[in-house]
Structures are given as C-alpha cells and as structure tokens.
Chain A
C-alpha cells in the first residue's frame, strides 16, 4: 500500500528502504509503515498505544512552546524519570532505621553512579513539585479550566496533592537529621487538627514519634501506594484532555 505514496523508481535507496521498513519483522511491530506521508503519520499516532493519547491532528497554536511551556508533559516526564531512578535506588535501600542511613552512605560512596542516581532522583522530585505548580498556573492563566474541563482541573488539584505527598514521603527515607525533623514538623501540623488530628497523625506516623513504623509506612506509600494512585489519576487526567478535544481553544 505504501508503494503509491512513494516517488517512482526503484533506486538502491528504495530497495534498502523496503528491506528495512517493509520486512515482516518491522511490519509486525509497526503496522502503519514509516511515517513519511500524512496518512502514515496519522496512523503512527493512532495505532500506537503510547502516542494515541494524542489526537492525530492538533491546532497550530498548541505546538507553540510559549502556549504551554511543556509544563504538563514535563511533569509526566519527571514522574517517569523518578520511577526509573527510584527503582534503581530501591536496589540498594532497606527501609529500616538501623540500615537506611548507612545504605544511603554506601549508595553515595560504594555504588557506581549511586550518588548521581540519588542526586537525579532528588532534583527531579523538587523539579516535579515546581513543574506541577507552574502547570497549574499555566492552565489557570490560559483559562483552560473552563467548561467542559472543570472536572479535569479538580483531577489536577488531586494530582498536585499527590505530588506533594510523594515528595513528602520520600523526604523521610534518607533517615538523616533533615529527614527526621522535617517529617516531625510536617506530621505535627497534621496532629494539630481539631478532633481527628491526633488520631490521623498516629495513623500516619504509626506511633507517638517518627520511628521505624513511620519509615515503613512512608516507604510503602512512597514506592507503591502513592505512585499507583498518581498513575490512576494521571490516566483520568490525560484521557479527559483527549475527550475534551485536546487543549482549550478560544471559542
């Protein structure tokens, strides 16, 4: 089918092209043919599970960098980067008050690229809080929360909270003075709530002060609980953007 859409003639290049992009292995993976024609370019997006969150066409103004500054995409990109570097960090880390700190020290001194991996994870975490906040501001100032996108804004607010919680639970894991006391200050704020504050703080920390129970809980929340929740809300978030016709446009 691609034959009619290519220039005429069977040069060496054409035969090489067919050999690479027309063979059975390639065609079994990418069904749509090489995306060098409008038709194949649209199929490349529509038939790919990762790309099909995009529409096949997009309004001219929305590819201008200054319209979005890529902030939502960057938040998602950082989430993916954090997942990858986080999994690598998990190889070397045991969430126990006896081992956690020495594991981080060993990661920094004994593990090849361990320090780099930890640095990347930390800077991406700070970066994600920033990009999510800036993404929220972008959506607000471009008026992109207006009907029919109201609920997606709410989903976004939930994702903002989840991002903060992900960062907060990760803060405790190095088990140094900064971690312990930041979490102590943070959880004490929860404890100050009327009526349910103290019980909630107790559940969160797993005791009267930040110790092993808190470390276990924060670790479980950080590596699986909160990322799963964030992933679910992200699915809804992205799907709704697509359903609502992509980015908001002036009427």
Chain B
C-alpha cells in the first residue's frame, strides 16, 4: 500500500529521501483504509442499537407524583457514585466539592504528567501494567472496605466468629464512622461551639458568624472523609514509590488514574446494585421493583 504519488517533488538528499520513504511506507490512505473502518463501525453499531431497541424497552413508571416518594429514590446511574458518597460524608462535600475537585484534577493530568513518556501506545512504559493493576486493586478493595466499615460489616464478621454481642464495649466508637460522633461522650461544649465568639470577624467590620460548630459532627462528616480521600491516594503513591512500583511521573499518573477509575466504578456498582430500601446495603435491582 501507499505507493508514493507520482506527482511528489523529488527530495533533495539521499538521507531525506530514505527517511521520507520510510515514513511514507508506514502510512495508509485515509480513504479507503480509515473511512471504511468508520463506515463498517457505524453500520455495526446501528444494527446493534436497533437490535437492542427492538428487544429491550426503556422503562416508563407511573406518572410523576411529588406526593409519593419512591423508596429508594436514586439519581441516574452515572451519578449514583456521588449518591453513594453522600451516605458517608457531608452533602456539600459529596455532592459538590468532590466532583468539582475530581474534574479539575482530571483536567490537570496533562499539565502535571507533561513528559512524552509512554505516548501514543497502549501502556507502553515498563511498569505501566503493574501500576494499573495495583491502582485498580487498591481503589476497588479500599473503597469496598471503607463502605463495609461505615456500614458496620466488620462488627457482623467479628460477631460471627466470636459470638453474638461480643464486640467489646470500649471499642464501640469503631462500630462505624458515626461511632466517633455517637459512641464517645463528647463534652457538651464541643457540640455547639459558637464560631462567632472564636473568629471575631465583627472586629474586622465583617458580619458576625452566627454558626454553632459541632466538633464531633465536623470530624465525622468532613475532617475524616477529606483526609481519607486526600490522604489515601498520597499514601498509595508514597508506598508505591518506596516499593519501586511507581518511579516516574507517568507511573504515578497511571497508578492514581486507575485508582480513581476503580473507586468510581466501585461506588457506581454499589450505588446501583447494592442500595435498597432506605439506601441500606443490600442487593437491589431497579427492574425487579416496579414501585421504584
């Protein structure tokens, strides 16, 4: 393929000529080689979509009724990862801050990993696959474990082994993330610290803060989740660096990106298939329950 067109101007030197020939031999004409692939791809997908549309009807439930709230109420599937996060932290954090930061971080990838390493080929750097596997495994398993912890599944496992009600009382604050807030005797003053008396913005001529600060609530809903979401990826990179799994920028990028994708997919799967009535952690399918 790709015989040089006859009209092509003669190159100057033999070296240029050789290089040009080599480059040309590596090339194909877009028509027909690419255009036909695109065409066949489009035909196949048209058939696939028509076939799917003939076989599977899209759902239509009862007419919208603001008075009847279905249980569970779920967002579209691609937002169920955020809805899942919502169960574990402050709504502002899960619903807005996390997606915003995630999108900015996603957009910033090429500005951080700006080397030409591994460009233009599938996972071509030496440790690419290793980092993909490690990142994906840590992301998926870590997310699952964190969800299990917050849903007190470790208590069930412990009691299955050691007998009913055997979880030691002093460790009640470890029954789940909320345990830190609910099972510890916080002094009364920590539950509503008048922030306005601490941060005296009124002295600067600004409006006085009217917020009462619930310290245990803050720790559980914001401090721990933020530190988990920022800290664990950093820890992962540090450990991978020490173990020489990730050595270059590209390695770390693959590690982090794969971890992110794994977390995203895990949260989506849990939010879609394992959140039933009252968003309890049970197997659930939307199609089995017509009342949804």
Interface positions of A (Cβ within 8 A of B): 35, 38-39, 41-42, 44-45, 51, 54-60, 62-63, 65-67, 70, 73-74, 77-78, 81, 97, 101, 104-105, 108, 115-116, 118-120, 122-124, 126-127, 129, 137, 140-147, 149-150, 153-154, 157, 161, 164, 167-168, 171, 174-182, 184-186, 188-190, 192-194, 197, 209-211, 247-251
Report, nearest first, the 5 A-B pairs whose CB atoms are least far apart. Answer: A189-B95, A192-B91, A119-B53, A150-B110, A180-B64
A63-B34, A123-B58, A186-B75 known; A97 and B64 CB under 8 Å? yes
Task: Write out, one digit per residue, whether chain B residues 64-100 have a CB within 8 A of any chain A CB (1) or not (0).
Answer: 1110111001111111001100100001101111000
Interface positions of B (Cβ within 8 A of A): 2-3, 5, 7, 24, 26-35, 37-38, 41-42, 45-46, 49-50, 52-54, 56-66, 68-70, 73-79, 82-83, 86, 91-92, 94-97, 103, 106-107, 109-111, 113-124, 128, 132, 250, 254, 257, 261, 292
Further pairs besides A54-B30, A144-B119, A175-B63: 15, Cβ < 8 Å: A56-B29, A56-B31, A57-B2, A58-B27, A62-B34, A116-B54, A141-B128, A145-B109, A157-B106, A157-B107, A181-B70, A185-B73, A190-B95, A192-B94, A249-B120
Q: Which residue of B lies closest to A249 (CB)?
A: B120
- Interface residues of A, dominant DSSP: helix
Contact A140 B120 (CB under 8 A): no
Partner of A181, one of B46, B49, B73, B107: B73
Contact A248 B119 (CB under 8 A): yes
A176-B61, A250-B119, A250-B121 known; A119 and B52 CB under 8 Å? yes
**Complex A-B: 27 CB contacts under 8 Å:** A41-B30, A45-B29, A56-B31, A57-B2, A57-B29, A58-B29, A77-B41, A81-B46, A101-B63, A119-B54, A123-B52, A126-B77, A143-B121, A143-B124, A145-B113, A146-B113, A146-B119, A153-B109, A154-B107, A177-B63, A178-B59, A178-B61, A180-B65, A185-B75, A188-B95, A192-B92, A211-B66
List chain A residues, Cβ under 8 A from B94.
Answer: 189, 192
